């Protein structure tokens, strides 16, 4: 860490100690440190993409774990385990899969296939690094030292299985009898019963986190929708997604015409003093020939979905309509509520709509989506999208690219706003409720006689609840906005900044943006 990073980390620790207990404080610090390690990995991989030759490639890759983990372990019990984890992170950052545990596979196995300047991906997207997983206990109730041995014994009385007894004057839970109903915890007057959950399992709204034979977390890929909430919730940095940063840096080195489409959630991701003009300047220094706002595609979707609502939902042809802009939300709807497929909007997502605008104007260019979302990587792999979006990277990965080129966005020159500026409505898509709000405002402006009923849900658990109600017929005649990440896109797995400050900065950005609404003529724009 440089001096500025050390200062910020010290301040963060001081604040955390006041807010959290020792255990929770330790977990939060581990998360901060994990983000720091991930950034270092991305930086090293990007440097290789920019600088390595065919002759030096293998050596440069094998050196990364040693460059990152030097002479002493900082975060785990030994340098050997730290380097083992770093090695697997290197593979994932290059788009490769983890190595099997039961046979010898070289760190650079498969690198030749990934050493290209095109999109590269080995499924699955999300993986648990076994050497990093702490095998946290899952769904267990335990009596803590807070127990006072009260004479009422409400925990014993409420337990339906007789799993609680008194041992040495304190409550004791027999784990063989416990059914994990949580009734004991709810009635304890001293809050002396703790519910132990895996952080990754608690964060997963579709219950895709399971256990392997050794009690370590594993991801059921049939259930997973790749939102990345498990990744950002693991305090041991044991879950990671695959990256295309190596292939993208390779392409940037080759001087290919590459155009960035940036999600509106970029506000505040690289520092409070990084203006839109400075951010565009930093991207051009990196090698991007042009920059488009994904909010342009959001404007198109906003008008199209308002039109769809007015013609189909308001007339009773459809009982409800689901927005399509969040890929994890739409995948979840298709996986868990297949009967609702016809209710999912068929409008292009903002990423795809913007990419098609770019391809129309620059047919030979490669398009890179830069945003907060891990699942966009899978959306870009769909057969219907592959030719539109060439690379997907997160804000976290972009910072690694900046570091590799020694670019500091806050010190870049201020560039004027591009001519293809988006509206406030499209830029507001980045926050939960922003999609619903934009569509509602378009309906009121362009379809004033149409009654408007719009619901929104954030986090996959809440999204499932809303869809369950809709399936049961308890939500009708409305549009439903779903966001997989709490808070919307600005709470995505690939972000760099905290939600509160980003939310405030984005609101200011939206409030100062003109015009407020896209033109109704956009509904006639042909991009299919």
Mean pLDDT of the chain: 90
Whole-number Å distance between alpha carbons of 325 and 483:
9
- pTM value is 0.90
DSSP 176: T
What pLDDT score does 1 carry?
47
Q: Does the pLDDT at position 209 exceed 60?
A: yes
What pLDDT score does 471 carry?
93
The CATH number that domain 3-135+201-242 falls under is 3.30.70.20
pLDDT digits (tens, 9 = 90+) for 253-278: 988 899 999 999 999 999 999 999 99
pLDDT digits (tens, 9 = 90+) for 145-201: 999 999 999 999 999 999 999 999 999 999 999 999 999 999 999 999 999 999 999
Whole-number Å distance between alpha carbons of 386 and 369:
12
DSSP 344: B
Q: Which fold has domain 247-518?
A: Fe-only Hydrogenase (Larger Subunit); Chain L, domain 3 (3.40.950)
All CATH 3.30.70.20 domain ranges of the chain, comma separated, are 3-135+201-242, 140-196
- The string of DSSP codes covering 195-233 is EE--HHHHH-TT--EEE-TTS-EEE-TTT-----HHHHH
Q: How would CATH label the architecture of 140-196?
A: 2-Layer Sandwich (3.30)
Whole-number Å distance between alpha carbons of 302 and 169:
63
What pLDDT score does 168 carry?
93
Q: Does the pLDDT at position 419 exceed 80?
A: no
Burial class (CB in 10 A: 0-12, 13-18, 19+), 427: buried
All CATH 3.40.950.10 domain ranges of the chain, comma separated, are 247-518
pLDDT digits (tens, 9 = 90+) for 212-246: 999 999 999 999 999 999 999 998 999 999 999 99
CB under 8 Å to 257, separation ≥6 — which residues? Answer: 289, 362, 364, 365, 366
CB under 8 Å to 178, separation ≥6 — which residues? Answer: 140, 141, 161, 163
């Amino acid at each position: 860490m440089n001096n500025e990073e050390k200062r910020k980390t010290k301040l963060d620790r001081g604040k955390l100690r006041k807010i959290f207990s020792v255990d929770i404080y330790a977990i939060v610090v581990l998360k901060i440190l994990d983000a720091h390690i991930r950034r270092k990995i991305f930086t090293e991989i990007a440097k290789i993409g920019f600088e390595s030759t065919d002759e030096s490639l293998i050596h440069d890759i094998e050196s990364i774990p040693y460059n990152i983990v030097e002479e002493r372990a900082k975060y785990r019990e030994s340098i050997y385990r730290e380097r083992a984890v770093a090695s697997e992170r290197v593979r994932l950052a290059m788009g490769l899969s983890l190595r099997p545990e039961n046979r010898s596979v070289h760190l650079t196995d498969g690198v030749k296939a990934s050493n290209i300047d095109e999109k590269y991906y080995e499924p699955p997207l999300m993986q648990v690094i076994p050497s990093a997983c702490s095998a946290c206990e899952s769904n267990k109730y335990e009596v803590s030292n807070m127990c006072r041995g009260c004479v009422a014994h409400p925990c014993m009385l409420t337990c339906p299985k007789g799993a609680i007894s008194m041992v040495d004057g304190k409550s004791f839970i027999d784990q063989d009898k416990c059914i994990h109903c949580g009734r004991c915890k709810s009635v304890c007057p001293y809050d002396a019963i703790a519910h132990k959950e895996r952080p990754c399992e608690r964060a997963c709204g579709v219950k895709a986190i399971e256990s392997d034979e050794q009690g370590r977390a594993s991801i059921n890929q049939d259930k997973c929708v790749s939102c990345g909430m498990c990744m950002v919730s693991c305090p041991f940095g044991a879950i990671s997604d695959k990256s295309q940063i190596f292939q993208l840096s390779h392409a940037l080195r080759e001087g290919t015409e590459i155009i960035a489409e940036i999600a509106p959630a970029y506000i505040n991701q690289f520092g409070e003093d990084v203006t839109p003009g400075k951010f565009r300047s930093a991207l051009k220094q990196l090698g991007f020939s042009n920059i488009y706002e994904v909010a342009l595609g959001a404007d198109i979707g906003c008008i199209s979905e308002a039109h769809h609502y007015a013609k189909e939902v308001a007339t009773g042809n459809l009982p409800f309509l689901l927005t399509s802009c969040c890929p994890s939300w739409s995948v979840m709807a298709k996986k868990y509520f297949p009967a609702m497929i016809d209710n999912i909007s068929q409008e292009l997502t903002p990423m795809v709509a913007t990419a098609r605008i770019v391809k129309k104007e620059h047919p030979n260019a490669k398009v890179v989506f830069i945003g907060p979302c891990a699942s966009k990587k899978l959306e870009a792999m769909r057969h219907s999208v592959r030719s539109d979006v060439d690379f997907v990277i997160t804000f976290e990965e972009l910072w690694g690219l900046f570091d590799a080129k020694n670019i500091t966005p806050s010190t870049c020159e201020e560039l004027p706003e591009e001519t293809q500026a988006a509206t406030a409505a499209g830029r507001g898509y980045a926050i939960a409720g922003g999609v619903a709000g934009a569509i509602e405002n378009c309906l009121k402006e362009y379809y004033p006689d149409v009654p408007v009923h719009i619901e929104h849900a954030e986090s996959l658990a809440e999204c499932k609840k809303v869809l369950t109600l809709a399936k049961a017929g308890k939500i009708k005649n409305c549009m439903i906005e779903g966001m997989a990440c709490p808070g919307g896109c600005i709470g995505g797995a690939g972000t760099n900044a905290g939600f509160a400050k980003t939310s405030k900065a984005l609101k200011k950005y939206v409030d100062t943006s003109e015009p407020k609404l896209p033109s109704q003529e956009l509904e006639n724009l042909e991009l299919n």
